[in-house]
Amino acid sequence: MNYYSLNKKAPDASFETAVRKGLAPDKGLYFPENISPLDDAFLNNIEKLSNVDIAFHAIKQFICPEIPEGDLKAIITDTLNFDFPIVQIEEGISTLELFHGPTMAFKDVGARFMARCLGYFNQDSTEEVTVLVATSGDTGGAVASGFLGVKGVRVVILYPSGKVSHVQEKQLTTLGQNITALEVDGTFDDCQDIVKRAFLDSDLTNQMALTSANSINVARWMPQMFYFMFAYKQLKHKNTPIVFSVPSGNFGNVCAGMLAQKLGLPFSHFIASNNANNVVQRYIESHQYNPLPSVQTISNAMDVGNPSNFIRIQELYNNDFEELKQNLSAYSFSDDETKAALLTIYKQSGYVADPHGAVGYLGCKSYKKEHPQAHTVFLETAHPTKFLDVVEEVIPKQIALPPQIQAVINKEKVATFVKNYSEFKSFLLEL
């Protein structure tokens, strides 16, 4: 399958080229040229299939034969070595837990999948690839873990100083080997701008092969559709429309769910649940897309002022605003509302959510006011111990650290502080 740039001013690319380059030469995001619906037999029997078989059947059209079917299935098997359980919170509201991977965040799936694809392409190559990734929290740790020790790959992670949790910082600054962390004086948007600028800087691109492991990369973005399918597999027996409430920052996750819907999964609706960074909510309400500088919140992985993947969502709907509005609702919630939701969830069900999941829960509650019969599922995108300073302030319970967190929490942070693009560029050229 070929991939085209959403800016429509660059040559089509193979899957390998799209993965290696991250962004097209015209600065556009890559998008698959075709999306063919899955066959009825697959959808009708999905509950009988393993997660690996579901994922393989869903994504093979986008990758094979560039990666042969046997190798692709091995990559998927190695990626999906943890569970994705559904937990009922209250009548009509469940959560899909996406934190059972090595860094306890939903981004483990995409990061591990991309790392293994890049490793496959590099197995007979002597060329080193430098992976640049901007993170607002969880992406950095997931990429660091997923790419650790991958042959021919050097990873440079940029994160905003003072704007990620203590656990998140430890996960992306303590691994060493081929992983380097840069602490940036600024916001996530500043980190993302540095990464995008680097791809256009010939001083860098003439000396090194650069790619991105943010969800702008097709190999990070597309596999996120898997867990929406795993949720459907578990809920199909209910015979009720499923509405997903997705805590949204860079909008790769909800976009991946919509890709699964385009493949034929019978999802009823999507909810973009935002914190104060609510550009898409304002767009849905006004039809005016006006990004603003990001603001810091307690759900920091969603602190994105200009979400990169929203252009992919628009492409999925052929830039038809009314069609998109029929399938996407958007709400935003304050930190105080998020804290109150954490306590409500715990008091009513005994369940300990993280701040991002709490925002997703609030999205479910808002949607159900007008659609009381809907079965809503909010994505619990990270384990609550990654945000202990927030959660334990609200919930009267000491939360034990899981093994994945214990493994890094006492390690020494190793990061280089950079103030601006010039300092970043100098650092990269001297690596």
d(CA 323, CA 328) in angstroms, rounded, equals 9
Q: Max CA-CA distance within the chain?
A: 59
d(CA 126, CA 106) in angstroms, rounded, equals 32
Q: Are 364 and 380 in contact (CB under 8 A)?
A: no
d(CA 206, CA 235) in angstroms, rounded, equals 50
d(CA 246, CA 260) in angstroms, rounded, equals 14
d(CA 215, CA 139) in angstroms, rounded, equals 9
Helix (H, G, I), strand (E, B) or coil at 267: strand
Active site residue 107: yes
Give, in order, the Cα–Cα distances in Å from 416 to each of 12, 39, 43, 186, 431. 37, 50, 49, 14, 12
Choosing from 9, 27, 48, 107, the catalytic residue is: 107
Pick from 128, 140, 142, 182: which is nearest to 20 by CA? 128
Q: Are 89 and 96 in contact (CB under 8 A)?
A: no
Catalytic residues: 107
